[in-house]
Amino acid sequence: MPLHQPVAVAEWETNPAPEAPVSPESLKESGLSLGFVCDMILRTVYTRGAMIGRDLSQFLCLPFKVIREPLKFLKDEKLLQVDGGDLVGEVSYRFSLTDLGRERAKAAMEQCAYVGPAPVPLEDYVEQCYRQTVTGLVCYPEVLKAPFSHLVLKEEMFNNLGPAIISGKSVFIYGPPGNGKTAMARAIGDFMNTAGGSIYVPYAFLADSNIITVYDPSLHVIDDTADDYADDADATVRKLLSHGAVDQRWVRIRRPVIVTGGELNLQMLDLKYNAEAKFYQAPIHFKANGGVFLIDDFGRQLVSPKDLLNRWILPLEDRHDFLTVASGKKFQVPFEQLIIFSTNLDPKALVDDAFLRRIRHKVGVSAPTREVYERIFAANCKRLGMNYDQSAVDYLYERYYSRGRTPRASDCRDLLETVQSICRYRRQPVHLTRDLIAEAAASFIAEFT
């Protein structure tokens, strides 16, 4: 699942976007063969009906000058016909399938039913990934503090996170439950989404005649503040017709932050093949390239920690992975992402020393001291619009924390929200008292003591 929408603070933008892929000037520069583009045109017109040249160019995300040769070839072969047009030229011609073209389109659909933006070559995708790696991002304390402003952290712990982000290496966050591990990981994600700048991902790429889709609107957030982002048809067409414009087969997005938890299994780390349409969808971690992949509650996945780590031990070391298509052929792809493992289990019980060595940064999150607990408690009171009552905290320590229960940062939120619910149920103003916190704690804590 994607991370929650980041806080919109423009001044966090400290990392410029990488060099944008340039729109191809010819079929050769597109990296696609004449036959491949012809089949894409046939499938598109077959599924969408007759189209004018401009709309076909826009749909395929290829400049008209790139599809001009394939269109001419299809007309010469009597697979396409021109139903009309105006004085603007070929870009305004309306193209439709002939009977022969319809038969050829059906055959093309049987080979691969992908219809959408044209893919980019694998080589172009690899090159772009290395232009926008997570390693070496600009990150200063004053910039990093903004996405962490809602958390109460020790300065030492906060200062450990900056170098981890800059390194782009894996991070292991561990400690007892309820003390902000996931919140810290998500704050790193907020930094990536906002101050990390934007990157380019393709709608799809082509590897050994196999189409693999990459852009996922459910996981990727479009950077609609970018100059090259067009949200209307006319602007898109102008870009397709201009020299040196951004290649429209690529989408400019905020650095992705993808979160997965107990549902993660090994199958999710492999290409997903659509047997009916005969093309692939990139695995979930692959879509995090250039950003963050957070594995929350590590150790509680459907797959065992050992199997998961064995799958990733080489990618973490070598910064590349291998994807395998149905034929069994493998191809190498970048593994350029900041992986965060978050767990409340004992790290030594989960992983061995060989794997821990490959995780560059380890951040331990311990139970809060009373001073920190009180600051978290006060911050949650403010968030809920509730008064702060020191006697409520005193009661919790007298009754529970001084008698063996370990305080958790999350207790503050849970207890105060329970107090809020009690007040609303009784139709009384939300007002914190010692008695109300005692009532909330009896419900929330007592059963665990």
Residue 28 included in any domain: no
Rounded CA separation 279/332 (Å): 18
Of all residues in the chain, what percent carry a pLDDT higher than 70?
Answer: 91
Rounded CA-CA distance 286/125 in Å is: 12
pLDDT at 139 over 90: no
Q: Which range, 9-13, 139-143, 252-256, is most confident?
A: 252-256
What is the extent of the structural domain holding 141?
10-20+124-364
66 in the same domain as 195: no
Cα separations in angstroms, 2 against 94, 270, 333, 347: 40, 19, 22, 26
At which residue do the structure tokens 């905020």 appear?
A: 254
Amino acid at 54: R
> Considering the domain boundaries, does residue 130 fall inside one?
yes
Q: Report whether 254 contacts 224 (CB < 8 A).
A: no
- Measured in degrees and rounded to the nearest 5, phi and psi for residue 235 equal -65, -40
Residues 133 and 104 both lie in one domain: no
Task: Give the phi and the psi of residue 101 in degrees, each rounded to 5.
Answer: -65, -35
Nearest to 79 by CA among 52, 46, 48: 46
187 located within any domain:
yes
Q: Which structure tokens are listed for 427?
A: 């139709």
- Amino acid 149 reads S
In a domain, 27, yes or no: no
Q: Are residues 309 and 226 in the same domain?
A: yes
- In 3D, which of 395, 440, 434, 441 has the Cα closest to residue 422? 440
Q: Which residues contact 73 (CB under 8 A, 6 or more apart)?
A: 34, 38
Instruction: Render pLDDT for 409-446 as a digit per residue (tens, 0 to 9).
Output: 999 999 999 999 999 999 999 999 999 999 999 988 85
- Residue 436 shares a structural domain with residue 316: no
pLDDT digits (tens, 9 = 90+) for 17-45: 788 999 999 999 999 999 999 999 999 99
Give me the number of domains the chain comprises.
3
Determine if the pTM surpasses 0.95.
no
